[in-house]
Amino acid sequence: MAVTMQPGRYEPSDWQTGVCEICDDCGTCFYGLFCYSCLGCSIASDMDECCLCGLGMPIRSVYRTKYNIKGSLCNDFMVTACCPFCATCQLKRDIDRRKEQGIF
């Protein structure tokens, strides 16, 4: 039998929600709004990283690479520089959705 797919390879995907779709999960939005650093710690905890690593471009890039999400380092930088709150909430929403789907 011929091998047609390499194990572990999968097609690039998109983020499960858009950057500005903060109303998709109002709980995460309020969590980030009232305690932004706590949201970052929650993300870092989800990804088994140091609490100080939960905010910004590096954690977003690591996550995007791990789940083969379309994008680039430049895009990660621009999104986190222009709207860090929205970028962080998007990352947390994506983590939560992947947990619900059993793929996190």
Q: Are 86 and 20 in contact (CB under 8 A)?
A: yes
Residue 88, pLDDT score: 95
Segment 43-60, tens digit of pLDDT: 999 999 998 888 999 999
pTM: 0.87
**4 to each of 1, 7, 9, how far by Cα in Å?**
9, 10, 11
**Which single residue is written with the structure tokens 């690039």?**
12
Mean pLDDT to the nearest integer, 3-12: 62
Q: What is the largest CA-CA distance in the chain?
A: 57
Instruction: Extract the tokens encoding 61.
Output: 């890039």
Any idea where the domains of the chain sit in the sequence? 25-101
Mean pLDDT of 89-95: 96
